[in-house]
Chains A and B, each alone.
Chain A
Amino acid sequence: MLTGTLDDFTLADVLRLVAGARRTGDLAVTRDGGAGTLRFRDGAVSGAVPRYERRHPAASPAGAVEDLAFDLMRWGRGEFTWTPGASPPAGPETAVDVDDLLREVTRRLDELAQIRTLVPSEDAVLAMAPQPPEGAVQINITPAEWRVLVLVDGHRTAAGVAAAAGLDDLEGMRLLYGLAAAGLVAATRSADDAAEPPPPVSDDAPEEDDAPEAAIEPEAPAPEEAAHPEAPAPEAAIEPEAPAPEPAIEADASESETPAEAEEPDPFLAELAAEPASPFDTVPPAPHEAPAVDRSTAARELAGLFDDVDAPPGFERMAVAASPRPPAAPRRVEDDDQVTRGLISRLIDGVKGL
């Protein structure tokens, strides 16, 4: 058994190391906002045992693994305990590849980072916008959005709204983000009046520094302004790259696991306990590159591309892409009422003149 903290290296590093060494055992993790055990069989995650039941448990073992990993990686400090050897299965087993798991968690963390640009934390208190979005002539919301909107009262936190609506925090924040992006609600303050910053984002997503304070402006942004990714540049939502695969730990990979060996000093554990040198060194975030043009100007143009919706580039469709797409005929260019023969002819003339 090995116990350690997640101060010096990240949970993602530990997962990759276990996967690279193709180990079997239980990785119990306790973090500020979540706790549970990820079970490994030959380096793949075979199951998840969350300490606290989710409001909406995943339908599949693989989904449960993703949910728990996300819960564990979205928070900051924590501790882990590695117990080698197979445990009796707690339920149906699965075999989730760690790289795939980290990609999915990274995607969710990206989404959460984007959400936090308008809904800074689960503790954020939201209020309905006093005025409808500028220029709005019609506002359509879904039943789910309605159930959330009526709970936004200027007192409940985002987590409180989600709980009252019977949603997981993330799903509730997703809906609140949509409402905020449309200019219908705005974060006003955190529950403790910003005395305490939002929960630290895990080191597992080092670039997720989307400056939540910038999004908690007391005045509700006009829709066009909300569409501008003022705090996050357009790439901010995607910036946290999927963790690069870690090379396998060849020295341990071929070792069999027997009770006798379990009593011996495990080279894997020794490596895990060692100074986190190369195996734990994550790829450093790329330095932020200064834009070559005025980014706010570019952002305004980008926002204009979203027609009459106000999502900052990159958010809504990311989520759509990750969920089952309802069958629908692709949009046809000839059905676009802004694309006319006259306009295209003028564009052709203009391009010819370049």
Chain B
Amino acid sequence: MTRPLVRRNRLARGARPLKIVVTGPFAAGKTSLIQTISEVAVVGTERVISDETRSRKETTTVAMDFGRVSLSNGLSLLLFGTPGQRRFEVMWEVLSDGMIGFVLLVNGADERSAAEAARQLAQFREYADVPFVVGVTHLDEPGMDAERTLASVRDRLDVGPETEVVPCDPRSREDVKDVMLRILFGVLRRLEPVAATP
């Protein structure tokens, strides 16, 4: 669909807030991550699940989660969580518009999650060439070998060593800060290729 493009005077419209998208398969922890770091209650669009995936999760995001992180220096970051179920993927491109980077969450305790994440990763790379971090969740479940799971996820995603695949407990503020910083440093590296490491 086409639509008119209306260019406005920048002074008239102000600067665009920057956003990071949180994506990943169903039940990877996207909503939890946003809830952990956002200082506003998440504008969630969860609905009760009515299909066979209900056995894994009672509700799912059908449009998006929205959170905001206000920083002490007056800036703010917006976080958008995508719907996890494939049938709602029409929202992915909408939410990825204008993102400066994205977090791809993978449920390390669910083998199907990495396979689905690989498909999502390919899709998001088509939307925009921006830094991303892979956060592996559910590593604290009994019997999990974190290192082996991280390596397995990396293999399933078929990403190179330049891609950061890190443990991420979406309920941990420090873990969430860590993935956000990794993305921001990734952006900084793009802007000044010889500098910027976390």
Task: List the interface of chain A (C-beta within 8 A of B).
Answer: 103, 107, 110, 133-142, 144-145, 174-175, 177-179, 181-184, 223-224, 234-235, 237-239, 241-242, 244-245, 283, 286, 289, 291-293, 295, 298, 301-302, 304-311, 313-323, 325, 329-334, 336, 338-341, 343-354
Residues from chain A with Cβ under 8 Å of B92 in the complex: 321
Q: How large is the interface on B (under 10, 10 to 19, 20 to 34, 35 or more residues)?
A: 35 or more
B5, CB-defined interface residue at 8 Å: yes
Kindly state whether residue B115 has any CB partner on chain A within 8 Å: no
Kindly state whether residue B194 has any CB partner on chain A within 8 Å: no
Can you name 20 A-B residue pairings with CB atoms under 8 Å? A137-B8, A137-B9, A138-B6, A138-B7, A235-B64, A292-B43, A301-B78, A305-B19, A307-B16, A311-B3, A315-B94, A320-B93, A321-B90, A333-B130, A346-B71, A348-B185, A351-B77, A351-B181, A352-B177, A354-B37
Other 14 A-B pairs with CB < 8 A, given A182-B6, A351-B177: A110-B90, A184-B4, A241-B62, A291-B43, A292-B44, A309-B3, A311-B3, A314-B91, A317-B94, A330-B125, A330-B128, A332-B190, A344-B187, A352-B181
For the complex, give the distance between the alpha carbons of A140 and B88 in Å: 31
B146 within 8 A of A: no
Q: Is the CB of B90 within 8 A of A354?
A: no
CB of B18 within 8 A of CB of A347, answer yes
In the complex, what residues of B have CB within 8 A of residue A134's CB?
A: 8, 12
CA gap between A234 and B89 in the complex, in Å: 15
Q: How far is the CB of A119 from chain B (nearest CB, A)?
A: 13
- Asked if B62 contacts A313 (CB within 8 A), the reply is no
- For the complex, what is the distance from the CA of A323 to the CA of B90, rounded to whole Å? 11
The interface stretch among B46-54, B106-114, B151-159 is: B46-54
Is B26 interfacial (CB 8 A cutoff)? no
Docked pose: A316 CA to B3 CA in angstroms: 8
The list of the 7 closest CB pairs from A to B, nearest first, reads: A350-B71, A178-B3, A135-B12, A292-B41, A235-B63, A235-B45, A319-B1
Interface 9-mer from B97-105, B133-141, B162-170: B97-105
- On whether the beta carbons of B131 and A333 are closer than 8 Å, the reply is yes
A223 touches B6 (CB 8 A): yes
Q: Could you tell me if B3 and A244 are in contact, using CB atoms closer than 8 angstroms?
A: no
Do the beta carbons of B77 and A305 come within 8 Å of each other?
no
With an 8 A cutoff between CB atoms, is B160 at the interface? no
Q: Considering the chains assembled together, what is the distance between the CA atoms of A179 and B6 in angstroms?
A: 10
A248 to B106, CA, bound (A): 33
Report if B68 contacts A (CB, 8 A): yes
Q: Are A331 and B5 in contact (CB under 8 A)?
A: no
In the complex the two chains form, what is the Cα distance from A322 to B88 in whole Å? Answer: 12
List of A residues within 8 angstroms of B90 by Cβ: 107, 110, 238, 317-318, 321-322
| B7 in contact with A308 (CB, 8 Å) | yes
Measured in the bound complex, the distance between the Cα atoms of B129 and A237 in whole Å is 27
Q: How far is the CB of A121 from chain B (nearest CB, A)?
A: 19
- Contacts of B97 on A, CB cut-off 8 Å? 305-306, 317
